[in-house]
């Protein structure tokens, strides 16, 4: 506590004549109040590690309770059609980097949340509980077969190291000739700059389970709101989002990126820098807009 007071210029607590551990609790609450008045969003916490409790400050990046689901169907279509090749390759590099380096999972990987939701919906279809019409049921069965096959293809391409490594060179060569081109190039260039400043950093490495809940209570995990999925305009997307929203609405807390600074040693300056997260999620919003345009027929980059 002395180290924290020294860093922030707080007066040392004057709580006296209170037996242990109540004196610790009193000092903690007094410091917590001072800290919260100093900087919004900065928390004072105890972290349990290796059987020891460490005093620390924590700052959480607010993701806005948003589902960052990125469809891979547009990528598949672009790669298979063979037109707009430069656009398709740049989009592939952006998505490959986000998958490989940033750590955003793909629904066709093992034990991924959205993959399990798709599998559950497929079971409803094959067991005849989802649709009464046999022709509609066969259409849905065929759709899942197609989705899994094409999903595996996009995962394979996105997992190839050369695709992520080619991000900067493809961004430099790309000539934007439309609004959608410009939006994608903006995402790519910002991602290149982010990589230069934070090479090999993953958004998942600073994810921390909420302090106000324990594991049994349940909370929204990062991979439940941050993932590559198949499509936002196919025949199962309504069921997908209904199921996800119903399940996630049951939880009262969410796993988000957190910056931790420990005070069991002297600290020279505050270390809560959320620059990486701010820049990354700006890129993710931009990519979401690009993919939305592609899926809703607003792609006007017919010149690639």
Which is nearest to 87 in space by CA: 13, 183, 223? 183
- CA angle 222/227/232 to nearest 5° reads 135
Quick one: pLDDT band at residue 283, thresholds 50, 70, 90?
very high
50 with 74, same domain? no
In a domain, 134, yes or no: yes
User: Taking residues 47-56, what's their average pLDDT?
Assistant: 80
Domain range for 76 is 68-255+274-295
Full-model pTM: 0.88
Q: What is the mean pLDDT of residues 270-281?
A: 92
The more confidently predicted of residues 290 and 38 is 290
pLDDT in the model for residue 254: 93
Co-location of 183 and 290 in the same domain:
yes
The pLDDT value given to residue 31: 81
Residues 201 and 107 both lie in one domain: yes
What is the reported pLDDT for 72? 98
Give a yes or no: residue 265 inside a domain.
no
Asked if residue 220 belongs to a domain, the reply is: yes
Domain count, the chain: 2
Give 210's contacts (C-beta < 8 A, 6+ positions apart). Answer: 219, 253, 254, 255
Which of the four pLDDT bands, split at 50, 70 and 90, describes residue 126? confident
The torsion angle over the Cα atoms of residues 246, 248, 250 and 252, rounded to 10 degrees, is -150
For residues 169 and 186, membership in a common domain is answered with yes
Which residue would you say has higher pLDDT here, 28 or 278? 278
Average pLDDT rounded to a whole number, residues 245-252: 93
User: Same structural domain for residues 72 and 97?
Assistant: yes
Residue 193: asked if its preceding bond is cis (omega within 30°), the reply is no
Q: Give yes or no: residues 7 and 83 share one domain.
A: no
Q: With respect to residue 290, please indicate whether it lies within any of the assigned structural domains.
A: yes
Mean pLDDT of 251-255: 91
Name the pLDDT band for 212 (thresholds 50, 70, 90): low
Indicate whether 193 and 154 sit together in one domain: yes
Let me know if residue 261 belongs to a domain.
no
- C-beta separation of 95 from 72 below 8 A: yes
Q: Are residues 290 and 244 in the same domain?
A: yes
The pLDDT score that the predictor gives to residue 150 is: 97
Of 116-120, 179-183, 258-262, give the lowest mean pLDDT range.
258-262
Q: Are residues 54 and 73 in the same domain?
A: no
Which of helix, strand or coil describes residue 37? helix
User: Are 48 and 74 found together in one domain?
Assistant: no
Task: Give me the mean pLDDT over the 151-158 stretch.
Answer: 98
Specify whether 287 is located in the same domain as 143: yes
Confirm if 230 and 73 have CB atoms less than 8 A apart.
yes
Quick check: is 192 in a domain? yes
């Amino acid at each position: 506590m002395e180290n924290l007071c020294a860093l922030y210029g707080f007066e040392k607590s004057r709580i006296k004549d209170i037996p242990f551990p109540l004196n610790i609790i009193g000092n903690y609450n007094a410091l917590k109040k001072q800290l919260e008045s100093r900087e919004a969003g900065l928390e004072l916490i105890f972290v349990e590690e290796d059987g020891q409790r460490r005093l620390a400050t924590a700052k959480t990046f607010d993701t806005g309770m948003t589902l960052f689901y990125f469809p891979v169907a547009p990528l598949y279509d672009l790669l298979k059609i063979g037109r707009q090749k430069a656009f398709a390759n740049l989009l592939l590099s952006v998505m490959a980097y986000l998958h490989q380096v940033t750590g955003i999972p793909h629904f066709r990987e093992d034990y991924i949340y959205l993959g399990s939701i798709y599998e559950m919906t497929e079971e409803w279809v094959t067991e005849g509980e989802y649709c009464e019409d046999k022709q509609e049921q066969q259409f849905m069965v065929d759709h899942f077969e197609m989705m899994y096959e094409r999903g595996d293809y996009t995962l394979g391409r996105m997992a190839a190291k050369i695709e992520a490594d080619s991000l900067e060179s493809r961004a430099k060569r790309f000539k934007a000739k439309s609004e959608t081109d410009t939006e994608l190039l903006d995402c790519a260039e910002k991602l290149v700059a982010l990589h230069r400043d934070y090479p090999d950093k993953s958004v998942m490495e600073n994810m921390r389970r909420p302090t106000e809940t324990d594991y049994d209570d349940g909370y929204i995990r990062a991979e439940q709101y941050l993932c590559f999925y198949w499509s936002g305009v196919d025949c199962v997307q309504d069921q997908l989002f209904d199921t996800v929203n119903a399940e996630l609405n049951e939880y009262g807390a969410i796993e988000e990126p957190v910056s931790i600074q420990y005070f069991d040693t002297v600290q020279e300056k505050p270390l809560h820098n959320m620059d990486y997260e701010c820049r990354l999620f700006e890129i993710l919003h931009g990519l979401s807009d690009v993919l939305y345009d592609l899926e809703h027929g607003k792609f006007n980059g017919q010149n690639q």
